[in-house]
Structure formats: structure tokens, C-alpha cells
A and B are shown apart, each in its own frame.
Chain A
Amino acid sequence: MLFILNQLVVLTKIVELIKILYNLNKEDAMQLFNLPLNEVIQHIINGITVGAIYSLIALGYTMVYGILKMINFAHGEFLMMGTYVSLLIWDSLRKGGNNPFFYILAVICGMIFSAILGVTVEKVAYRPLRKSLRLAPLLSAIGVSIILSNLAALIFGTKSKKFEYPFSNSPVVIGMVSITPHQILVIAASLFLMFFLTLFINKTRWGKAMRAASEDIDTASLMGINVDGIISLTFAIGAALAAIAGVFMGMEYKVYPTMGTMAGLKAFIAAVFGGIGNIVGAMVGGIIIGLLETFGVVIFGIPQGLKDTISFLVLILILIVKPTGLLGKKLKEKV
């Protein structure tokens, strides 16, 4: 009950914000960061959109790390593969018309494919190594990542493709700020998904099992939890979320075999920033990284080419200052 109340509070805050945006006019233009307020808000919207995508990807990293204490280097490739599958289906269905229903179908197919891929990779390339050397699953993940991205290049070609919008993406103007339907879709869908994920984690049996497994995997299995199944579920959910993120990326930019690499890296940084293993941390971290990137370019005039460097600098900084991340707890080895 309290949980639902919290979500409602967030919703009302958002409604208030929209009201403010609508009523903004030139007289209210204040100077913030040497920019008029409406531009700042514009950048915030852009930043949150980008950040939401990072959050969706970061969730997959953080959930897997929470339970297995391993970084799934191939996560970006789950994103990429799912996106390609969605693209294929969408492109073929699109011929019958720009139907949003087809779009949703294509995206869901991509998510399912990605989920299956994730579960399979875990079973084949990670599970045998669970008791092996510390470095083994990491090296294996790197190997999987390379296999998948090159496989995609072979199958789909190295030329980038565009993921067409199922709607016209002309900006909507609210007061002094303009927002595109794409941005509305991304933010709305991300909020929706994160809401349901949080509900799932906190209220369902499986969510509880996932939390137990990330606390202490051995005890969880002793309690009768099917740990292998929970791990598969974790991979499936993470991969599916990544696939949607990839579709959003494909719509805004393009689809190409290595699209998962950079985004995956930045999302991982977001997860570390927010506290690896912490789900809320991944959500918060993604948004913040997105905002930092957007504002970094705008305020400090960092050229587009070096935009990615911002995230890495954030990483180095957080590793120096607070390696457990904003919301993370100290993951100490029990002596």
C-alpha cells in the first residue's frame, strides 16, 4: 500500500512539472548556467531521455552482478541482437502499413529473442564456470561478446540501419519547450517498465527469490530456492529490458553490430555509479549519467567526439571517491 502511495506521489509531481512547463513564457526566462530556463529544461528532457535508456540497460548489469557477482560483458550484445530481431520483424511487418500494433509486436519479439539469447548464453558459457577461477566467467563473457557482435556483422552486414518510427516524430511544443513523441515514448515506457520491475522485485515470490539470491546465493539455494532458475530469470529480464533500450536507440540514432558496446559500457558505468547490485541505483545512475552527458556537452562545450569520455571520467571519479556507488552497500568478502 505504501508502495503504491509512493508511486502516486511521483506521478503527481510529474503532473505538476508539466503544468509548470506549459505556463512558462518569456518573462519567466531566468538565467541558469548562463542559459535561459527553457533551454535548461529542454536539456533536462533530452538528458532524461538518454538517461532512461541507460537505466534500462544498467538494470540488466546490476541484477546479474547482484546475484552472480560477475559483470556480463556480453550484455550490450543481448541489446544489439534483440534490436536487430525487432528491426527485421518491424521492417517486414511495416510493409503492410505503419501500424503501431505491428511495432509493439516487433518490439516484443525482440525482447523475447533477447531473453532467450541471454538464458542460453548463461547456460552454455557462464554456468560451467561458476565454480572456476575468478577470471574465468569474465573472460568467457568477453569471448561471447566478441562472438555475438561479429556474428551480427556477418548476418546483418556492417552498414548501419535505421529503425523507422511508427509515428511521425514532429516535436510537440509545451510553452517554451519542445518535446518529441519519441522522447515521450521513451520516458513513459521506461517509467512504466521500472515501475513494474520494482513491483516484481518487491512483491512477487520470484522477486523475493532474486533478492535472496543476491544477498547470499548459497543460503538461498539451501532455502529451497531454485537458484539456476532464478539466475535464468534474471538474465531473461535484463536482456529483455536491454532489447527495448536498443530499439529506442535504433529509432533515435541507428542500428549497427557494435551498437551495444558503447551504450553497454556507459550503462555499466551508470550501474556502478548508482551502486552495483542496487536496482534503484541503476535507475538513478542511468538518469544522472544521461543528464551529465547532455549538460557536459552544452555547458563545457565538449565536442561530440569526446562525449563518451564524460562517462569514463565519471567512472574514474566515482571509483576514487565512493567505489560502492551512490546507493551501494559495501560488498565485502566475508573473512
Chain B
Amino acid sequence: MSFLYTDRIRKEFGGVIAVADVDFSVEKGIICGLIGPNGAGKTTLFNLITGLEVADEGFVFFKGEDITNLPPYKITRTGIARTFQNIRLFKEMTVMENIMIGRHFRSSCNFFPQNRLLNSILCFFNIKKEERDIYEGANKWLSFFELEKYKNELAKNLPYGKQKILEIARSMATEPEILFLDEPAAGMNPAEKAELANVIKKLNEFGVTIVVIEHDMKFVMGLCEKITVLNYGRKIAEGTPKEIQNNPVVIEAYLGKEDERSLTKN
């Protein structure tokens, strides 16, 4: 059984079928790409997996458990994290605070786990330890992503590229086993993209499974071991980068029948 997989998952908006009976699977430890023309349903699929959309039909399984339609906070707690296409940082909070929020459920104080209410009251009187744990946990990721110099800067004041990195840092602070990145390279210049690719590889080496939605083909092909292609809500192809590049159905989906060259170029 795959690490994470969807089973005939389906989502409709009004009359439009955004995701149609998709069987999407991710093996543990790989870097996997999800591509497709605009409107293919990639982000919707992410949303269905991470609980931000409710599936009309079908299932999502993670580590053998059914996580279909769980509320987002529960899904995150099972070890799934994600970033957003349009960056959703906590703008009026500092970089450090943003990452610290990622530590929220990982560092809960547990004087008395048997009773949540009693626990909260006891913890109320000893916040320092909890805050220290959170701070140190967040600091680790702050350093990993080399954001130290922005530590006390408000998130909204960061340069765009750093904001994208911050979002990833924040997600990693939740210590996920699988990370979904929605167009992490969008708006970055080639140098930043190369850096991002390295960061993703490093994370993968630490054992994080990664799923990336991207439009930059060079980026995706260079990074991912497996690529799934969606079009009009359906899975039209799946395989290694080489296979996908040469798949006529994929080429047609992107470009129409005439021009076959572009998929292999950037």
C-alpha cells in the first residue's frame, strides 16, 4: 500500500468537475511532481488531501488510515503539511513567530496528559518551559532555511523569494512526514530556483516525502523521481520524467497536437 494515496477522489464545483476519480499515490521517501495545464485540478487535489476541500466522493489514505474529509488541523497532526500557491503567511507577525506557530501542536506542555482541562490549567502556570521548547524548535528550522537575519522582521516586509522560503520553513516546523508544495518556485529567478531545488533535496534526504506542483518543467523534471499529470481533473499520465516528456497524451494536453518540442525545453 502506498504511503499516501487517493482512491477515486472526486470534487465538483457547481457543474464543473474539478477533480474526477483520481487515483493519486505517493511512495514514502520520494520527491513526486504533480503537473498539468492551468485549471487541471492540481491545487484542488492538494486541498482535498489536506482537508481544505470536502470530497464529493472517494477517499484519501495516509499511512494506512482513512483521512478523507478530516478537518485540516487533524490532517496536519497526522504528519501532512502544505504551502500555498498565493503565500499565506501571518503577515503582521515576525518571521520567528510564524515558524513558532508551526511548532504549535508539537510542543504542547504535558504535565498531566490524562486530563486535558487540568493539563491546561497546570500549564497555565508554567509557560516558560513550553515557550523555550517552541523557541528552540523553531530556531532549528530558522537556521536550516538560513533566515536568521530576518528573525524579527515582520513577515509582510520580507522579499518575495524569502516569503516563499518562510512558508516552507513554517510548514517544516510541524515536523511533517510528507510535504505538499504548491508552486514553490513561482516568481523566483533561476538562482533562487536552484537554491530551492537544493533545499527540497536536503529535506528529502532527511526523510521527508515531497509532492510538488509546478509549472516550470525544467525544475520539475530535474527534481522529481515520479510525475503525475492531470488534465481537466483526470489523471492522464504517470511515470518517470523521461516517460512523461515523451508521452504524446501529455504533450497534447499542454500544447495541442502541432508543437511537440516545448516540453523538453524550459
Mark interface residues in B33-67 (1 if CB within 8 Å of A CB, else 0). 00000000001000100001100000000000000
Complex CA gap A100/B53 in Å reads: 56
Complex CA gap A329/B14 in Å reads: 9
Closest Cβ of chain B to A184, distance in Å, is 40
Closest Cβ of chain A to B252, distance in Å, is 28
Mark interface residues in B83-100 (1 if CB within 8 Å of A CB, else 0). 011000000000000000
Judge whether A335 is part of the interface by a CB distance below 8 angstroms. yes
Closest Cβ of chain B to A55, distance in Å, is 26
Closest Cβ of chain B to A200, distance in Å, is 24
Closest Cβ of chain A to B230, distance in Å, is 17
- Interface residues contributed by chain B, number (CB under 8 Å): 7
The answer to whether A335 and B47 touch across the interface, beta carbons within 8 angstroms, is yes
The answer to whether B52 and A335 touch across the interface, beta carbons within 8 angstroms, is yes
Chain A: which residue is nearest B84 at the CB level?
A335
Closest Cβ of chain A to B233, distance in Å, is 17
Mark interface residues in A300-335 (1 if CB within 8 Å of B CB, else 0). 000000000000000000000000000001000001
Complex CA gap A18/B53 in Å reads: 49
Complex CA gap A335/B72 in Å reads: 13
Q: Which residues of B contact A335 (CB under 8 A)?
A: 43, 47, 52-53, 84-85
Mark interface residues in B2-32 (1 if CB within 8 Å of A CB, else 0). 0000000000001000000000000000000
Q: Chain B contact residues: over half helix, strand or loop, or mixed?
A: loop
Closest Cβ of chain B to A331, distance in Å, is 12
Closest Cβ of chain A to B84, distance in Å, is 7
Q: Which residues of B contact A329 (CB under 8 A)?
A: 14
Mark interface residues in A163-176 (1 if CB within 8 Å of B CB, else 0). 00000000000000
Complex CA gap A335/B53 in Å reads: 9
Complex CA gap A296/B43 in Å reads: 47
Complex CA gap A335/B88 in Å reads: 9
Closest Cβ of chain A to B86, distance in Å, is 8
Complex CA gap A335/B43 in Å reads: 8
Complex CA gap A335/B14 in Å reads: 17
Complex CA gap A227/B85 in Å reads: 26
Interface residues of B in 61-79 (CB under 8 A from A): none
Q: Which residues of A contact B47 (CB under 8 A)?
A: 335
Complex CA gap A335/B50 in Å reads: 11
Closest Cβ of chain B to A288, distance in Å, is 25
Complex CA gap A329/B47 in Å reads: 19
Complex CA gap A329/B43 in Å reads: 21
Complex CA gap A295/B53 in Å reads: 40
Closest Cβ of chain A to B242, distance in Å, is 32
Chain A: which residue is nearest B44 at the CB level?
A335
Q: Which residues of A contact B84 (CB under 8 A)?
A: 335
Q: Which residues of A contact B52 (CB under 8 A)?
A: 335
Complex CA gap A158/B258 in Å reads: 77
Complex CA gap A329/B16 in Å reads: 14
Q: Which residues of A contact B85 (CB under 8 A)?
A: 335
Mark interface residues in B170-188 (1 if CB within 8 Å of A CB, else 0). 0000000000000000000
Mark interface residues in B203-232 (1 if CB within 8 Å of A CB, else 0). 000000000000000000000000000000
Complex CA gap A329/B52 in Å reads: 17
Q: Which residues of A contact B14 (CB under 8 A)?
A: 329
Q: Which residues of A contact B43 (CB under 8 A)?
A: 335
Closest Cβ of chain A to B42, distance in Å, is 12
Chain B: which residue is nearest A330 at the CB level?
B13
Complex CA gap A329/B13 in Å reads: 10
Complex CA gap A335/B85 in Å reads: 8
Complex CA gap A335/B83 in Å reads: 10
Chain B: which residue is nearest A333 at the CB level?
B52
Closest Cβ of chain B to A329, distance in Å, is 7
Contact surface of A with B, Cβ cutoff 8 Å: 329, 335
Q: List 7 A-B contacts (CB under 8 A).
A: A329-B14, A335-B43, A335-B47, A335-B52, A335-B53, A335-B84, A335-B85
The 7 closest A-B pairs by CB, nearest first: A335-B52, A335-B47, A335-B84, A335-B43, A329-B14, A335-B53, A335-B85
